[in-house]
A = this chain, B = another copy of it.
Amino acid sequence: MNNVVVCMSGGGTAVINASCAGVIHAAQQDVTIDQVYVGINGILGLINNQLYRATELSKPDIRALKQTPSCAFGTCRYKLKPYDEDPSDYQRIAETFTQYGIACFIYIGGNDSQDTAYKVQQACATMNLNIQCIGVPKTIDNDLVGTHVCPGYGSAAKYIAISTLEASIDVKSMYRSSTKVFILEVMGRHAGWLAVASALARQPNQPAPHIILVPEKTVDTQRLLNQVQQCVNTDGYCVIVASEGIKNPDGTFWSSTKETDAFGHKQLGGVAPKLAKLVSQELQLKCHWAVSDYLQRSARHIASAFDVELAYRLGLEAVTAFLRGDNAVMLSVEPIQSNNGFNYRITTQSLATVANQEKIVPDAYLSSCGMDINPSLMDYLKPLIQGEAYPDYQNGLPNYFYYHETSYETELS
Which residues of A are in contact with B by a Cβ distance under 8 Å? 11-12, 41, 44, 68-72, 74-78, 158, 161-163, 165-167, 169-174, 176-178, 182, 184, 200-201, 203-206, 259, 261-263, 267, 269-270, 272-273, 277, 280-281, 284-295, 297-302, 304, 382, 385-388, 390, 393, 395-398, 400, 402, 404
Contact = CB atoms under 8 A, between A and B. Distances in A.
18 contacts: A12-B169, A71-B174, A76-B177, A77-B178, A158-B396, A161-B397, A162-B398, A166-B298, A167-B294, A167-B295, A203-B402, A261-B286, A270-B270, A289-B291, A290-B293, A292-B295, A302-B302, A386-B396
Contact of A262 (B261, B284, B398): B284
Contact of A166 (B290, B300, B388): B300
Given A289-B293, A386-B395, A390-B390, A76 B277 contact: no
Contacts of A261: 280, 286-287
Contacts of A165: 397-398, 400
B400 A169 contact: yes
A304 B272 CA distance: 29
A172 B405 CA distance: 11
A327 to B, nearest CB: 27
Contacts of A302: 301-302
B397 A169 contact: no
A279 B81 CA distance: 31
A12 B280 contact: no
Contacts of A166: 69-70, 294-295, 298-301, 398
Contacts of A288: 293-294
A395 B173 CA distance: 24
A171 B68 CA distance: 14
Given A166-B300, A169-B69, A262 B286 contact: yes
A176 B71 CA distance: 13
B74 A174 contact: yes
A269 B280 contact: no
A322 B77 CA distance: 62
Contacts of A298: 166-167, 169-170
Nearest to A73: B173
Nearest to A169: B70
Contact of A177 (B77, B292, B382): B77
Contacts of A259: 277, 281
Contact of A170 (B163, B281, B294, B387): B294
A290 B280 contact: no
Contacts of A300: 166
A385 B390 contact: no
Contacts of A299: 163, 166
A45 to B, nearest CB: 11
